[in-house]
Structure 1
Amino acid sequence: MKMLIECCMNNIHNGTGEVLKAFHSLPHVEIVEYGCLTQCGICRQENFLFINGTFVAGETPDQLLEKINKMCFTLT
């Protein structure tokens, strides 16, 4: 199953970019970068991505990566 990760370029600087690096080389992952995903209130406070259309956020990049990993294991 291909995983779609959608990210907000405005959130990359908060640490989300570090999380994306973990997925860039995986062949089953497609990353789509948007200028804005209209999540501005959350964007200022947390790291977030959309994984297969589901909003996932974490206070730190490590928390976000942990949530994504847990989510992916339940998707398979």
Structure 2
Amino acid sequence: MTHLLKIKYCTKNFKNGTKPVYKAMKDKFPDIKMKKSDCLGNCKTCRHECFAVVKSKMVSAPSAEKLYKELKKLIG
């Protein structure tokens, strides 16, 4: 089931701490498709929080650790 999941990351959000989340998720869940984009158009969220897009739904958190936990929770 996890191989059907796709997580998109905004490279502009990497400076907010999302880059280690991207790397950790890639290492822990190699069967999930991870995609980096220059901009995902969520600029208001991007300025204040870490975020990723899972199945067209934005997942955001105030810190990289919390975002990682949220993504892991979604995966199951």
What TM-score do you get using the length of structure 1 for normalisation? Answer: 0.87
How many residues end up aligned between the 2 structures?
73
Match of 1:69 in 2: 72
Runs of 4 or more consecutive aligned structure 1 residues displaced over 4 Å after TM superposition: none
Partner of residue 8, structure 2: 6
Query: 1:63 & 1:53 partners in 2: Cα distance?
Result: 19
Who is 1:43 aligned against?
46
C-alpha RMSD over aligned residues: 1.1
Distance 2:19 2:73 in 1: 19
Question: In structure 1, what is the Cα distance between the partners aligned to 2:30 and 2:46?
Answer: 27
Q: Structure 2 stretches of 5 or more lacking a match?
A: none
Matched, 1:54 2:49: no
Q: What amino acid maps onto 1:9 in structure 2? A: T
